[in-house]
Structure 1
Amino acid sequence: MCCCCGGFVSGVELTFELPDNAKECFFEEIEKGTESTLEFQVVTGGRYDVDIELEGPGRQILYRETKQQYGQFQFTADITGTYQVCFSNEFSTFSHKLVYMDFQVGDEPQLPGVGEHYTAMTQMESSSQKIHEDLNSVIDYQTHHRLRESQSRKRAEDMNERVLFWAVGETLGILVITVGQVMVLKNFFADKKTNQASY
């Protein structure tokens, strides 16, 4: 199954579900000489690992990793064309994964009005540029914290489910043992009554 995500000097950031025994591919048009960054992380599922492969327009492999939980790869496009990144969960037969991907292509455009003149930036323009960069850093930190929170929540829910099943199993075991003990004690007294009646 393939999905197409396009953008001109922008990129794509998304979280998607990767079913068991499946492969998902995403495509991006990149101009020659453009710097790009691919970042991914498995949020939930199985052992939190996927196979990843990044191919250039000539089908050359730029980046390949197997059974990775997270990773980052920066590259500069050698030729203009369609670049393909594929995530594979084909080695897993029953656990589906939730995968976060951030594929940034090119540099972010400058703020409107900043860099459009040949003189030095004013104090206001410098402050605006600094605030803009800091806000971008905050967005990145929030994204990573959301991913970690989601991962921890999923682990906690799995642990809660296991504890619940274990508690139910222990309760059933106690009930079976209780009934068994009552039956054994009842048989002891029933044997005495039959023995006394025979005398």
Structure 2
Amino acid sequence: MSVRGRRASFISAGVRFIVILGLSVASCWPFRQSQDIEFTFLLPPGRVECFYQPVAKNGSMEVEYQVIAGAGMDVDFTIVSPHGYLLTSDFRKSDGIHTVEPTEEGDYRICFDNSFSRVSEKMVFFEVILDGQGAEGGGDDEWADMVEPESMLEYKLEDIRESVESVHRRLERSRQMQTLLRAFEARDRNLLEDNLWRVSFWSCVSLLVMLGVALTQVYTLRSLFHDKRRVHT
């Protein structure tokens, strides 16, 4: 076999090894656990709804909410720590994003308040993103225990690990952005439907008023030219 043939065979074997190694890493890599909770609910008028989210210590929690339907499109919002401390609050806002970092171990209370409204209910969407809550299967310790093979074609196991983790983070972020965009689209659609109903209603009212005014003017003009007195000859 010629030198060129042996070189091509060596490169082909190296490429196959890298592909197999990458697939093995992608299939068995225990990503850092990141939870994403989404919920949409109706908040009745004059009510307060609270949700409890268990969180591990020294992680991060991001909460984003949007009012997607209802008169005024606003609610009061609070986050309370497991020890009862008020961490953040919003007063009559339509949306908001809040991050708690680092977190304490326990149940965080997330509350939405519509007590200021006595008539209108609100449809609220919120999303809770938890990061750094630990990983199944050992996480980075498993990687530390694995024996790194000899480098081939200047590829290392650590490089593959970082690439896979980067792809995972970006895919998770893309999915979260798509969820938020759907919530924005739902809110905009509800606003458009409400505006359409108002425009249609007041257009009908204006049309009826115009017809009433026209009939009144016709009747008034006819009464001016109608002489009820009789002429005797």
User: Match for residue 70 of structure 1?
Assistant: 95
- The amino acid of 1:46's aligned partner reads A
Unpaired segments of 5 or more residues in structure 2? Answer: 1-32, 149-155
Unpaired segments of 5 or more residues in structure 1? Answer: 1-7
- The amino acid of 2:38's aligned partner reads E
Aligned residue for 1:93, secondary structure, equals coil
- The amino acid of 2:213's aligned partner reads I
Q: Could you tell me how far apart the structure 1 residues matched to 2:82 and 2:88 are?
A: 13
Q: Comparing both structures, which one devotes a greater share of its residues to helix?
A: 2
Q: TM-score, normalised by structure 1?
A: 0.79
Which of 80, 99, 112 is the aligned partner of 2:124?
99
CA contact (8 A) 2:50 2:112 kept: yes
1:72/1:48 CA distance change after superposition, 3 Å: same
Aligned residues: 189
CA contact (8 A) 2:76 2:91 kept: yes
Pairwise CA distance, 1:101 = 1.1
Q: TM-score, normalised by structure 2?
A: 0.69
Which of 18, 24, 49 is the aligned partner of 2:74?
49
Pairwise CA distance, 1:69 = 2.1
Pairwise CA distance, 1:95 = 2.0
CA contact (8 A) 2:55 2:133 kept: no
Q: Could you tell me how far apart the structure 2 residues matched to 1:133 and 1:94 are?
A: 43
Identity %: 27
Aligned residue for 2:143, secondary structure, equals coil
Which of 192, 209, 213 is the aligned partner of 1:173?
209
1:121/1:16 CA distance change after superposition, 3 Å: farther
Instruction: Please give the residue correspondences for 1:137-152 in structure 2 after superposition, counting only pairs within 5 Å.
Output: 137-152=173-188
Q: Could you tell me how far apart the structure 2 residues matched to 1:9 and 1:145 are?
A: 20
Q: Could you tell me how far apart the structure 2 residues matched to 1:169 and 1:26 are?
A: 44
User: Match for residue 167 of structure 2?
Assistant: 131
Which of 55, 59, 70 is the aligned partner of 1:30?
55
RMSD: 2.9
Matched, 1:58 2:83: yes
CA contact (8 A) 1:111 1:129 kept: no
String of CA shifts for 1:120-166, please: whole Å, max 9, x gaps: 43776555434333322221221222122112212211211111112
- The amino acid of 2:103's aligned partner reads A
Matched, 1:157 2:182: no
User: Match for residue 24 of structure 2?
Assistant: none
CA contact (8 A) 2:58 2:132 kept: no
